[in-house]
Amino acid sequence: MPKKKVKMARERGHRQKASRKLTEMGQDVVNDIKNVCPPKLKIPSRSTSNIIYDEVHRYFVLGPRWGVRSAGSMKQVKKFAQLLCTADFAKELIKQGKFATLREMYYTAEGWEVGPFYDQGESDGIIEDLEAAFGLKREDLGLTPEEDGAAVYGKLVVNEDGVVIDATKAGRAGYTIPPTIDDVEFLKCKAKRVIAVETMGMYHRLVQEQAWKKFDSLIVGLKGQAARATRRFLKRANEELGLPVYLNCDGDPFGFHIAMVIISGSAKLAYINHELAVPDAKYLGVTASDIVNYKLPTDKLRELDIARLKQLQKDPRYNTKFWQSEIKKMLELGRKAEQQAFAKYGLAYVVKEYMPAKLKEVEEQEFLGR
Amino acid sequence: MPKKKVKMARERGHRQKASRKLTEMGQDVVNDIKNVCPPKLKIPSRSTSNIIYDEVHRYFVLGPRWGVRSAGSMKQVKKFAQLLCTADFAKELIKQGKFATLREMYYTAEGWEVGPFYDQGESDGIIEDLEAAFGLKREDLGLTPEEDGAAVYGKLVVNEDGVVIDATKAGRAGYTIPPTIDDVEFLKCKAKRVIAVETMGMYHRLVQEQAWKKFDSLIVGLKGQAARATRRFLKRANEELGLPVYLNCDGDPFGFHIAMVIISGSAKLAYINHELAVPDAKYLGVTASDIVNYKLPTDKLRELDIARLKQLQKDPRYNTKFWQSEIKKMLELGRKAEQQAFAKYGLAYVVKEYMPAKLKEVEEQEFLGR
């Protein structure tokens, strides 16, 4: 297929599906009214009791329970009307090829006849209802978070709305993943893997030491907890480009969990994890074993760290030999260490010594199917 | 001068000056030792009582007081040795054309004979000593903050280490200002002004509505309180490119202060404001008058907002007719409003109606010299 068409197909795929779902919903409402029935919408329940860890897919999903939002109930009629206005706003965004932030969506309602939202929590909730009902991301409905995604550096060329961007030529700070990442077409990729790092300090270290060249890798700077756009980018890199994804985080419970949310998704977003989780991504960050083996500078675990580690021990996402053993070891050591602690051995050490050793270890295990 | 040379000159300007200062300091130490005097360094005092608002330059500066760090004092000798090691590390970074984060600097000291720092506060303090002693930014010493600067979109072409980047062709999320912005050469700029906005939501709105074209403007997304690299970029755009800088922030005391720190610098960085402050930048954000004139959706001022506004009334940086009248009016209204509140009138309103009116007002005042 010619490149232009591939891109059109991608955009159509997501936006058109959203547009179709919205149209169907509207038709159902019209039909209900014609049949003198109160219009209604089935919405999967997002309550904690309906969030299930799916052992096969290896991420959280919603269970079988759902509720009905109906215009026939006095308690629900205003919310139902707001939901229809929101759907109408989304339809218009898709039609015009535009995007709005959740905050703009909230303020837009100030002009509605049905009355504004009480707060942004209310408008966000309605958008989540639509996402869950359709199984689509809000980005597909034209609604984006405020923040951009991560920075990417390496041999990847993308097409954004006809603008071709080479991620080795967008500056030292790299190519920034936009909130609208699903519109971006991957034109060319010569990298063989993705190394995503928690801090921008480590990102700039890897770019400066040319780790992207040395490891044939895309370097991704997560900026802490990964934004939705970043998670979507990593999933697409993994599935469309077939690249293994490695996650290099601080050796503490918060670093572990930054990696795990990328791998297995969060419970809160159970209704959309099938679009975001990267279950085959591998942890390549600082471990308790590294602290010992590399004699790293450490900090004492705070009470909060200890409590968090104990939570992780019971979390189904950490139910593997590797995680159980590393968490136990960290609790025994009573210490944690950051990625940048390798600077003790010189700035280049992490690229010259540490990463090659870790990559070899993880890729050998993968090769052996462990 | 050919372009390549301009760039070399820029790099040399900053880094070579830093290198020269470090060399001089080292020579002084050697001379002192040869003369059997304890080596010492004069460091301007950064204590609150030595921070002065300079009415002429219109930003905070350090006053005339200074202290002496001496190897002849038992209390100071370890700190003096750490300062020399830090200076040595910086010299090496400059020589190799490398950069390290403050965090890496802190960890590097774990390998020093003189012993590591107690915490990062200690190593950061020593870096600030060097900045203040030399009147140079730590970036010139090869030490950068972790975070990148703002996003830029518009008709600007830059040269980063031989890579040419067009800020209309770096993707929707724009060109990211790197921590090493002083190494970046401005090759070509067709914009006539800079509009910097507080939130990324507003940034994406302006990019989407092509405000950069409509207003012949560079659009800068500050991401809240502006990073040092962003402030340096705005100063360079103002001074080197001769562009007026307009700051569009939320209409609340925190929005006001995001703008004011760009304009007049912070007290904390008094020792380096001459490299960061943009005293001619103009506030173009939401005002108390806008809240009334545009009937904007508002939130009630919290107690914290009221206390903060009362602080600003007494702050010398806000001692102008404009600020005093707007702060008073906001206190009387008891309400605040965000940039994105204009979405009440449709997504394009801010670009079609609000900004043209505000720009006209501010530029007319400038023309009349008010």
CATH of the domain at A91: 1.10.10.10
Per-residue confidence (pLDDT) for residue B147, from 0 to 100: 82
User: Which chain B residue has its CA at the smallest distance from A167's CA?
Assistant: B170
| Confidence bin at A289 (pLDDT 50/70/90) | very high
Burial of A182 (0-12, 13-18, 19+ CB in 10 A): buried
Residues of chain A neighbouring B185 (CB-CB closer than 8 A): none
Cβ(A226)–Cβ(A150) below 8 Å: yes
Domain span including residue A244? 151-367
Per-residue confidence (pLDDT) for residue A365, from 0 to 100: 80
Residue B305 belongs to a domain with what CATH number? Answer: 3.40.1360.10
- pTM of the complete model beyond 0.90: yes
**Residues 6 or more apart from B265 whose CB is under 8 A from it?**
B59, B60, B273, B276, B277
Query: What is the separation, in whole angstroms, between the first and last Cα of chain A?
Result: 37
* Same domain for B170 and B111: no
| C-alpha closest to that of B150 among B221, B64, B92 | B221
Q: Is any Cβ of chain B less than 8 angstroms from the Cβ of A343?
A: yes
Listing DSSP states for B251-287 in one string gives BSHHHHHHHHHHHH--STTGGGGGGT--TT-EE-S--
Number of CB pairs, chain A paired with chain B, less than 8 A apart: 152
* Same domain for B113 and B168: no
Tell me the range of A37-41, A93-97, A302-306 where mean pLDDT is highest. Answer: A302-306
Helical axes B303-314 vs B253-264, angle rounded to 10°: 30
Q: Is any Cβ of chain A less than 8 angstroms from the Cβ of B166?
A: no
| C-alpha closest to that of A220 among A149, A157, A152 | A152
Per-residue confidence (pLDDT) for residue B8, from 0 to 100: 46
**Among A103, A122, A144, residue at a domain's last position:** A144
Per-residue confidence (pLDDT) for residue A1, from 0 to 100: 39
User: Which chain B residue has its CA at the smallest distance from A208's CA?
Assistant: B98
In whole angstroms, what is the distance from residue A339 CA to residue A296 CA?
10
* Same domain for B98 and B139: yes
Q: Which of the residues B59, B106, B107, B246 is marked catalytic?
A: B107
Residues of chain B neighbouring A180 (CB-CB closer than 8 A): 172
* Same domain for B325 and B216: yes
Per-residue confidence (pLDDT) for residue A11, from 0 to 100: 52
Q: Do A175 and B171 touch (CB under 8 A)?
A: yes
* Same domain for B346 and B237: yes
In chain B, positions 79-98, which contact chain A (CB-CB < 8 Å)?
98
* Same domain for A322 and A287: yes
Residue A3 has pLDDT above 50, yes or no: no
Per-residue confidence (pLDDT) for residue B255, from 0 to 100: 97
In whole angstroms, what is the distance from residue B201 CA to residue B358 CA?
19
Q: Is any Cβ of chain B less than 8 angstroms from the Cβ of A276?
A: no
User: Which chain B residue has its CA at the smallest distance from A109's CA?
Assistant: B344
Q: Do A104 and B338 touch (CB under 8 A)?
A: no
User: Which chain A residue has its CA at the smallest distance from B173's CA?
Assistant: A178
* Nearest CB neighbour to A171, from listed B147, B178, B199: B178
Listing DSSP states for B67-114 in one string gives EEEETTSTTTHHHHHHHHHHHHHHHHHHHHT--EEHHHHHHHGGG-TT
Residues of chain A neighbouring B197 (CB-CB closer than 8 A): none
Residues of chain A neighbouring B298 (CB-CB closer than 8 A): none
Q: Is any Cβ of chain B less than 8 angstroms from the Cβ of A245?
A: no
Q: Do B200 and A147 touch (CB under 8 A)?
A: yes
Q: Is any Cβ of chain B less than 8 angstroms from the Cβ of A338?
A: yes
**Which pairing describes strands B175-176 and B59-62: parallel, antiparallel, or unpaired?**
unpaired
Cβ(B137)–Cβ(B158) below 8 Å: no
HSE value, Cβ hemisphere, 13 Å, CA-based, for A243 = 26
* Same domain for A314 and A169: yes
* Same domain for A168 and A104: no
Reported as a single tens digit per residue, the pLDDT across A169-208 is 999 999 999 999 998 999 999 999 999 999 999 999 999 9
Q: Do B199 and A297 touch (CB under 8 A)?
A: no
Reported as a single tens digit per residue, the pLDDT across A331-352 is 999 999 999 999 999 999 999 9
**Which pairing describes strands A193-197 and A245-248: parallel, antiparallel, or unpaired?**
parallel
Q: Is any Cβ of chain B less than 8 angstroms from the Cβ of A147?
A: yes
> Domain total for chain A?
2
Reported as a single tens digit per residue, the pLDDT across A311-321 is 999 999 999 99
- The tokens describing B233, both together, are 């970029």
Q: Do B104 and A347 touch (CB under 8 A)?
A: yes
Q: Do A170 and B173 touch (CB under 8 A)?
A: no
* Same domain for A135 and A180: no
Q: Is any Cβ of chain A less than 8 angstroms from the Cβ of B177?
A: yes
Q: Report the gap between the CA of B105 and the closest CA in chain A (Å).
A: 8
DSSP reduced 3-state for A130: helix
Phi, psi of B316, deg, nearest 5 = -60, -25
Catalytic residues of A: 107
Kindly list the distances between the CA atom of residue B66 and the CA atoms of B78, B133, B169, B339, in Å, as whole numbers in the listed order: 20, 9, 48, 43
* Same domain for B346 and B328: yes
Q: Is any Cβ of chain B less than 8 angstroms from the Cβ of A339?
A: no
- In tens digits, what is the pLDDT along chain B, a chain of 370 residues? 444 444 444 555 788 899 999 999 999 999 999 999 999 999 999 999 999 999 999 999 999 999 999 999 999 999 999 999 999 999 999 999 999 999 999 999 998 888 889 899 999 999 999 999 999 999 999 999 888 889 999 999 999 989 999 999 999 999 999 999 998 999 999 999 999 999 999 999 999 999 999 999 999 999 999 999 999 999 999 999 999 999 999 999 999 999 999 999 999 999 999 999 999 999 999 999 999 999 999 999 999 999 999 999 999 999 999 999 999 999 999 999 999 999 999 999 999 999 999 999 988 887 665 4
Per-residue confidence (pLDDT) for residue B5, from 0 to 100: 46
* Same domain for B201 and B92: no
Residues of chain B neighbouring A338 (CB-CB closer than 8 A): 103, 107
Q: Is any Cβ of chain A less than 8 angstroms from the Cβ of B165?
A: yes
**Mean pLDDT, residues A59-63 taken together:** 94
Q: Is any Cβ of chain B less than 8 angstroms from the Cβ of A1?
A: no
* Same domain for A111 and A54: yes
| C-alpha closest to that of B338 among B329, B350, B327 | B350
Alpha helices in chain A (DSSP H): 3-11, 17-34, 77-96, 102-108, 120-134, 200-208, 211-214, 228-239, 253-264, 273-276, 288-293, 303-314, 321-333, 349, 355-367
**Among B114, B144, B174, residue at a domain's last position:** B144
**Among A118, A144, A170, residue at a domain's last position:** A144
Per-residue confidence (pLDDT) for residue A116, from 0 to 100: 87
**Mean pLDDT, residues A142-170 taken together:** 93
Per-residue confidence (pLDDT) for residue A4, from 0 to 100: 46
